[in-house]
Amino acid sequence: MNMFLHAFSHRKLKSTKLSIKFLYRDDKERKTKFASVIAARILFGALGCLMVGTLIYTLSTDGSPFRKELLTSWMTALLIDFYINIVAISVWIAYKESSWISAFIWIVLLICFGR
């Protein structure tokens, strides 16, 4: 009986050492991925601030973008292109998301903040 426990504990110790080695490797990979995610968040946060700043500057210097002289054929083409892409991407989001609520939230965010 004692020999059985010794063999069992040795096997358990050996598997623990292996899992520690794998955890260490995964931990290094996880830290690298985490750093990449943080860098991407900082980059996209800065880009978002730049977009908001540009919008505020343009609104304060040029006024409303919905003036009659700005609604040219190019603006119409741009809006049609934008909303066709919104519909296509929204269909894909609704297909990929697991629940309708999360799909709806993603689509609203897409429409509000652009593609």
User: What pLDDT, in 10s, does the model give residues 8-53?
Assistant: 455 554 555 555 555 555 666 667 777 888 888 898 888 888 888 8
Residue 104's pLDDT is: 93
Which tokens sit at 22? Answer: 């794998």
Whether 94 and 75 map to the same domain: the answer is yes
pTM for the predicted model, two decimal places: 0.41
Whether 75 and 50 map to the same domain: the answer is no
Higher-confidence residue of 93 and 51: namely 93
Whether 81 and 101 map to the same domain: the answer is yes
114: left (phi over 0), alpha (psi -120 to 50) or beta: left
Q: Any long-range contacts for 88-91 (C-beta under 8 Å, 24+ apart)? A: 89/115
Domain extent for 49: 1-63
Looking at residues 89-102, what average pLDDT do you find?
Answer: 90
